[in-house]
Structure 1
Amino acid sequence: MSEVSRQSVVRTYDRYAPYYDMLFGPIQRAGCRQMASVVGTLAPARVLEVGVGTGLTIGRYPEAAALTGIDLCPRMLALAKQRASALPQREIHLALMDAESLDFADGSFDCVTVPYVLSVTPNPERLVAEIRRVCRPGGHIVIVNHFTGSRFWRPMERIVRSLADRIGFRSDFDYADNILRHDWTVLSSNYTSFVRLYRLVVIRNG
């Protein structure tokens, strides 16, 4: 699997920050909407969003849920805080934090969402261990991510594979290695659109 460093993630996404919504919003919006809809059906009291970014999803979560959002990139988080300030009636807490070393107690959340982050983090296995730790047993983990496999995207994945550290994410990211190998329960796994670029995966922790 191609390598991504912590420094490159911070550098790249801080550079993306002013243009992130314009560049990535259109292709990520469907996945964010579907992810938040799933969370709504689960009705959790406490939600953690890992990689809150510019806050594209925070206004879509159930109003009754207490939302915590974390991100590694200061400029992205600053934009999320601007969005949160427009929702004063909501319980939203945002923090600068490394998802591979979460500053939360075990079982702190009923639901953990991971939008477009799993193939961005330097050590996906460590991130998975951390989100499982802070999600209560029997709680839910909802992941939206690109996974290798679609014939349509395979040529492009090969072209950008060596650029992972520069562009801040891996194009070659196997579903079996990063989802199916873990001893959790995959409840559903569906593409977010007909172009089959991203999958929405709903998991029961435990």
Structure 2
Amino acid sequence: MEARPQVALSEAGVARAYKRLAPMYDVLFGRVLEPGRRRMAEVVRALQPASLLEIGVGTGLALAHYPPTSKIVGIDLSHEMLERARERARALPDRQITIEHMNAERTSFADGTFDCVTLPYVLSVTPRPAELVREIRRICKPGGTIVVLNHFSGSRFWWLMERAFRSAAEHVGFRSDFRYEEQILSHDWEVVGIESVNLLGLSRLVVLNNRRS
């Protein structure tokens, strides 16, 4: 299949898109993407990391499913989404959860801060995926775990959706034409596991060891 130029996103465009989506995000994307979130949380619970960063925490739908002993930080670009995430964090008073507004491509965390970093449905919505990958590898401990949950293009079931959303990327806040080979296999981390999740394999859950090959 011929590779197409990747559609550009801007930080402002993504923020605008999720400002519009915030009031209805849980209704539109909560249930349909929930199996992937639950499976991601199962992977994290098996690891029992002392510290966990969720990038693109959104409205906080995954927070309650992470290990109760983990110290969790959730970051996002959208103030409107974060308001809802903070409400969910307050409903979990026995957990150590911090919610912050931050650009994941340029965080304020020190090198090797987190044992585990999760990216639920965020890699294809960031303006500069390579910058995001560079940053998460910096702030995840060497040998730590990075869990990517995302739609990657090429599915025979979802090619019409990918085509329909390709030209509207800036307005809907994500790229549908997003290749696993380019975004995962081109980096020198170790792929520990990969599985299809959500309806008809809409998304893939990729578990990575932050180890250089």
TM-score if structure 1 supplies the norm length? 0.99
Q: Which residue of 2 aligns with 1:20?
A: 25
User: What is the identity, as a one-letter code, of the residue corresponding to 1:169?
Assistant: F
Q: Which residue of 2 aligns with 1:198?
A: 203
Q: Could you tell me how far apart the structure 2 residues matched to 1:75 and 1:95 are?
A: 12
The Cα of 1:60 is off from its aligned counterpart by: 0.5
Q: Which residue of 2 aligns with 1:173?
A: 178
Cα-to-partner distance string for 1:149-198 (whole Å, 9 max, x where unaligned)? 10111122112201000110001000000000100000111101350100
Structure 1 residue 92 corresponds to structure 2 residue 97: yes
SS of equivalent to 1:27 = coil
Q: Could you tell me how far apart the structure 2 residues matched to 1:86 and 1:167 are?
A: 30
* Residues 194/160 of structure 1: CA separation in 2 closer, same or farther (3 Å cut): closer
Q: Which residue of 2 aligns with 1:50?
A: 55
The Cα of 1:6 is off from its aligned counterpart by: 0.6
TM-score if structure 2 supplies the norm length? 0.95
Structure 1 residue 127 corresponds to structure 2 residue 138: no
Q: Which residue of 2 aligns with 1:105?
A: 110
The Cα of 1:83 is off from its aligned counterpart by: 0.5
When the two chains are superposed, the root-mean-square deviation of aligned CA atoms in Å is 0.7
SS of equivalent to 1:64 = coil
User: What is the identity, as a one-letter code, of the residue corresponding to 2:209?
Assistant: R
SS of equivalent to 1:107 = coil
The Cα of 1:69 is off from its aligned counterpart by: 0.3
User: What is the identity, as a one-letter code, of the residue corresponding to 1:75?
Assistant: E
Q: Could you tell me how far apart the structure 2 residues matched to 1:134 and 1:91 are?
A: 19
User: What is the identity, as a one-letter code, of the residue corresponding to 2:99?
Assistant: L
Query: Which residues of structure 1 form unaligned runs of 5+?
Result: none
Where in structure 1 do 4 or more consecutive aligned residues deviate above 2 Å? none
The Cα of 1:41 is off from its aligned counterpart by: 0.6
User: What is the identity, as a one-letter code, of the residue corresponding to 1:24?
Assistant: F
Q: Which residue of 1 aligns with 2:3?
A: none
Which of 177, 181, 188 aligns to 1:183? It is 188
Which of 145, 148, 152 aligns to 2:153? It is 148
Q: Which residue of 1 aligns with 2:41?
A: 36
Q: Which residue of 2 aligns with 1:67?
A: 72
Identity of counterpart residues, as a percentage?
A: 54
User: What is the identity, as a one-letter code, of the residue corresponding to 1:57?
Assistant: A
Structure 1 residue 78 corresponds to structure 2 residue 83: yes
Query: Which residues of structure 2 form unaligned runs of 5+?
Result: 1-5
Cα-to-partner distance string for 1:11-31 (whole Å, 9 max, x where unaligned)? 110111111000000111011
User: What is the identity, as a one-letter code, of the residue corresponding to 1:16?
Assistant: L
Q: Could you tell me how far apart the structure 1 residues matched to 2:9 and 2:32 are?
A: 22
